[in-house]
Structure 1
Amino acid sequence: MEIENFNKEKIVIPEIKYEYLDHTADVQLHSWGSTLKEAFEQCATAMFGYMTELPTVSVEQCFKIEASSEDLDGLMFQFLDELLFLFSAEPYLVCKKIEITKFDLENFKIECLCYGEPFTLGKHPQGTEVKAITYSAMKIVNDEEKGQFECFVIIDI
C-alpha cells in the first residue's frame, strides 16, 4: 500500500550497521543494532544495498508492508520476503530507509514503512539480483556483552 502524504524532508537516513559476509554460492547479510528492531531494519537495508548503491536512491515514495509468522526466524524471513517482493513487482521499489512502526514479538508481527523510489537503470547501478531469502544458517543473536543484537541471513543470489 502506497502512502501518499509523507514529509520527504523529515526522513533521516540512519548510519550503516551492516556488512556482507562471503558464503559458498550466496551472500550472508550481517546486521546489528542496539535493539532487535534496529537490527531487523539494518538487515533489510543491507539487502537493498546489495542490489544497488543506496546513495543513488532518493526518497520519493513510501509503501507500507506487513509481515507475520509463527516465530522470530520466520518473522525475519517473511519480513525480507515482503521487501523483496516490493522490489520484484511494480513499482520495483528500492528502499533507502526502512522504518518498522510495529514490532510485536508476542504475536510475531511487523508493520513497516519503506522509503525509496522505483529502480531505474542508468540512475541506479545494477548490483546483484537477490533471488530469494533463505532459512539456511539464519541466526538472530542478543549479545549482552556488546549490548547489541545481531542478525545473520543468507540470501540466494
Structure 2
Amino acid sequence: MRYKLIPHTSDLGVEIYGKTIEELFSNALYCVTDNLTDIEKVEIKMEKEIEVFGEDLEDLFMNFLRELIFIFSTEHFLAKNIKDLKIENSYTALKGVLLGEKFDKERHPIKIELKTPTYHLFSIKKEDIYKATVIFDV
C-alpha cells in the first residue's frame, strides 16, 4: 500500500508509506497526483526535472509536496512517477525527473483541489517501514 486516507474534519489527511526514504517520496508524489485526479489516466508523455531543498528530512518532504502542488498549479503538469531520484546531503537536497503529462480537463477531472501540506499532525516515523502523516489544506 502506497498511502491511505485518514479521517480529518475539513481537510485531507493521509498516511504515506515507504520501505526506503526514496520510496516514501515516490509514494508521496503518487498520493498527491492520485488525490488531484485519477492517476491511472495520467500518461507518461513528458519529463520535468525537479530539485528541492530543506533544512532536514521533514522540511525536505514538506517542500517536495509543496513543489509538486506548485508545478501542477503553475505549469499544469501532472506527475505520475519520478526517476533518477536522489536524496543527498543528510536529507537536505532532492533531485529527480518527474514523469507525466500536461493536465487535460477532459481526461483528468479534478477530485480534490489541494492547496498546501500543513504542519498540523505532520510526522515522519521509521518503524518497520517509513510512515509520513500529512494533512493538506483543501
Shorter-chain-normalised TM-score: which range? over 0.9
How many residues in Structure 1 have an aligned counterpart in Structure 2?
138
Gaps of 5+ in 1: 1-15
Equivalent of 1:47 in 23, 28, 32:
32
Mapped partners of 2:119, 2:52: distance in 1:
16
Assess, with a 3 A threshold, how the Cα gap between structure 1 residues 99 and 138 changes in structure 2: closer, same or farther. farther
Asked if the contact 1:100/1:110 (under 8 Å) is kept, the reply is: no
Please provide the CA RMSD for this pair. 1.4
Does the alignment pair 1:71 with 2:56? yes
Task: Kindly indicate whether the alpha-carbon contact (under 8 Å) linking 1:134 and 1:154 is maintained by their aligned counterparts in 2.
Answer: yes
- Aligned partner of 1:119 in structure 2 is 103
Normalising by structure 2, report the TM-score: 0.93
1:57-96 equivalences in 2 (<5 Å): 57-90=42-75, 92-96=76-80
Q: Report whether the alignment pairs 1:141 with 2:125.
A: yes
1:155 aligns with 2:131: no
> In 1, Cα distance between the equivalents of 2:120 and 2:100?
28
Q: What residue is the counterpart of 1:23 in the other structure? A: 8
Tell me by how many angstroms 1:36 deviates.
1.5
Shift in CA distance, 135/99, structure 1 to aligned 2, threshold 3 Å: farther
Aligned partners of 2:82, 2:120: CA distance in 1, in Å? 24
Task: Indicate the structure with greater strand content.
Answer: 2
Structure 2 counterpart of 1:148, which letter?
Answer: I
TM-score of the pair, normalised by structure 1: 0.82
Q: More deviation in 24-33 or 92-101?
A: 92-101
Percent sequence identity is: 29
Which runs of 5 or more structure 2 residues have no equivalent in the other structure? none
Query: Residue by residue, what CA displacement relative to the aligned partner does 1:48-83 show, whole Å, maximum 9, x if unpaired?
Result: 100000111110011011111112211111111111
Which has the higher Rg, Structure 1 or Structure 2? 1
Q: How far 1:98 sits from its partner (Å)? A: 2.5
Amino acid at match of 2:135: I
Does the Cα contact within 8 Å between 2:37 and 2:112 map onto a contact in 1? yes
Tell me by how many angstroms 1:99 deviates.
3.3
